[in-house]
Structure 1
Amino acid sequence: MMKAQDIMTQDVVTIRGSATVAEAVKLMKEKGLRALVVNRRHDEDAYGIVTETDIIYKVAAYGSDPKKIRVYEIMTKPCIVVNPHLGVEYVARLFANTGIRRAPVIDGSLLGIISITDILRNSDFVEQPKAVYFEDQIQKAVEEARAICAEKGPTSRECAAAWDAVEELQAEASHQQARKPAKTAFDDYCKEHPEAAEARMYDV
């Protein structure tokens, strides 16, 4: 499964919050960028981001002079950041839920920036859709759970643990697809072995 660090752009262009919007525009034009990460002022400070949308909506739309407006006046800070180990599909969902198009990739320090363009061009969501991936993993886990239960017995701890693993995968798949399954593989198994349900009633 691809992660943010696998598809992010590592060559990140940053700017000071005290820089003028005119300087930001010049830098964007020179580098062919749509956003700049705003540097932290110190180690405990948060990163910010200024985008072309910020400039157009907050400066150009009002006829303001970009030479007199500072980046910190229009930037978003703290901005939404992405962990480098976050799966690409979750990055896509984060973008969808928040309406953003790009975010810095940070793990203590700034590692890169990831955008919807990176997801479209560099990820494997076309070749390896995660729904298909989870279906394969769930099927393998179900087969393994049934084999363990056949060997150890439907009321054994090993059988219960195996079905726990299956349901964790099904829960992840449901979360990925934003829907709840009508029934689980364990529900089907319990129709054949009703006694198996009691083995999964753990003490809290």
Structure 2
Amino acid sequence: MRAKHIMTQDVATIRGSATVAEAVKLMRLKGLRSLVVEPRHSGDAYGMVTEMDIVGKVAAFGRDPEAVHVYEIMTKPCVVVNPDLDVEYVARLFANTGVWRAPVIQGELLGIVSVTDIITKGNFVDKPKLKFLRKEIQKAVSEARLISANYGSDSKRAIEAWDIVDELEAEATFYGVPKPCRSAREMFGEDKKPATVA
């Protein structure tokens, strides 16, 4: 599942030159917790203004929302997500950066994805990544063994096939699978060694 499958397409945007009072009015009207700040020109970045920006930088200090502009409190450039990014990577990005939502952009603004979208629309409960990875590793090992048998262990195709296995095993380790003493490639290599007579 990818960001484009769970994102919200109806996104409210605001100009950086708008006042915080205008931002609050729009957020209340649409029932939103954040607004995407529009870029000023084609080379400019998107920004984000959140309810915490408003509460922490305006309300907490008694500042007049009519006298403070969005550009003074927004985050710019903000974290953005590619629509084809897998949901688990969106979740990891959010966890690593501390953001709760991000615009989904591919040349233009397509939507917004949030922690709530991951929880309510994501399929990580029904299809956990680790279960998927284990199946992918088994499939990749079988394929690498077959290619090695047909084309030789030192062939370019076999090396590339074992590289895929190594990448999948590394990803599984990242997700918490204990690192094996020997990789599937190493075990295959040991299986192929001729027996020695003492």
TM value normalised by structure 1: 0.87
One-letter code aligned to 2:30: K
Q: In structure 2, what is the equivalent of residue 181 of structure 1?
A: 179
Matches of 1:14 and 1:6, distance apart in 2: 21
Q: In structure 1, what is the equivalent of residue 39 of structure 2?
A: 40
Q: In structure 2, what is the equivalent of residue 200 of structure 1?
A: none
Matches of 1:46 and 1:148, distance apart in 2: 46
Q: In structure 1, what is the equivalent of residue 7 of structure 2?
A: 8
Q: In structure 2, what is the equivalent of residue 88 of structure 1?
A: 87
1:59-80 CA distance string (max 9 Å, x none): 1111111111111110011111
- Cα displacement (A) at 1:51: 0.2
Matches of 1:154 and 1:43, distance apart in 2: 51
SS of equivalent to 1:145: helix
Q: How does 1:104-143 map to 2 (within 5 A)?
A: 104-143=103-142
Matches of 2:15 and 2:150, distance apart in 1: 64
SS of equivalent to 1:83: coil
SS of equivalent to 1:103: strand
RMSD: 1.8
Matches of 1:78 and 1:159, distance apart in 2: 43
SS of equivalent to 1:128: coil
TM value normalised by structure 2: 0.90
Query: Cα–Cα, structure 1 residues 187 and 35, in superposed 2: closer, same or farther, change >3 Å?
Result: same
One-letter code aligned to 1:91: V
Q: In structure 2, what is the equivalent of residue 202 of structure 1?
A: none
Matches of 1:162 and 1:42, distance apart in 2: 45
One-letter code aligned to 1:7: I
Percent of aligned pairs sharing the same letter: 59
Unaligned runs of 5+ in 2: none
Query: Cα–Cα, structure 1 residues 79 and 180, in superposed 2: closer, same or farther, change >3 Å?
Result: farther
Unaligned runs of 5+ in 1: 196-204
- Say yes or no: does 1:54 pair with 2:37: no
Q: Is the 8 A contact 1:105 1:111 kept in 2?
A: yes
- Cα displacement (A) at 1:153: 4.3
